[in-house]
Structure 1
Amino acid sequence: MSRLLGILLLSPFSVWAAEPLNTAATVAPSAGGGMAGQLTQLVLGLLLVLGIIFVLAWLLRRVQQVGPGGKAQVIELIGSRALGPRDRLVLVQVGNEQILLGLTPGTITPLHVLKEPVQVPSGEQATPEFAQRLMEMLGKDKK
């Protein structure tokens, strides 16, 4: 038993255990400068992440506008009319054809293909119903 105790005392671990480590000096040499540096690093990291998010959102928007094959979007919403709280009529242009669609919560039904397309002035876009009513209330009616 005493031999085992002698071996343990002479092992390399006993040398390390005999010397106390000065962890305060190695971890934080100066508490004031370290805290400011960490805060600066945190803010720069946050700005970098936010910048990456904005760049990716911009790229995604550009890719969606171009669409597959480098063409502009083929389907355009010409107008919309609410029939009830959950039902709508939507006029959609696909290429040179205009299609009137009925939208319900569960289905989309093509109602009619117009022989003569409805002409919408290019400078004026179809305003959603809520936005149009809000503009009327604010006294900024475009009519």
Structure 2
Amino acid sequence: MKPRWLFAILCWLPLPILAAEPAGAMSGADVGAQLGRLLGGLLLVVGLIFLLAWVLRRVQGLTPRGNQAIQVLSTQALGTRERLVLVQVGDEQVLLGLTAGRITPLHVLKQPVVLEPPATAAPANHEFARRLMELLGKDHKDKP
């Protein structure tokens, strides 16, 4: 029985406090103070988010990345969720098949694949550049 009485007292306790002040009778100072507290809390939360992001970046930078034993050499997408990945592990190269729920080693290469840097792009069409310069030159000659 006691918990019911305690619950009833706690439920009725705020009613006299709320009844003492009419709903629309807040002064401008009260509204300003509440708005100031709201903005202060918002700035505190946003500042905390930026602080945590900064700390996370610092913690991630502590792990050495240059001397990892596993390196991804190349990837090739086969579909929306499937891809082939060529991985260097020590002196071996392994071709892996990746799907949404599984990683499968497909082949261990006996001779390592030497990846060549991508070929430079073919030189631009000089005809287009010449024609563009002619058009730009005409525009400048026509203007006073």
TM-score, normalization: structure 1?
0.49
TM-score, normalization: structure 2?
0.49
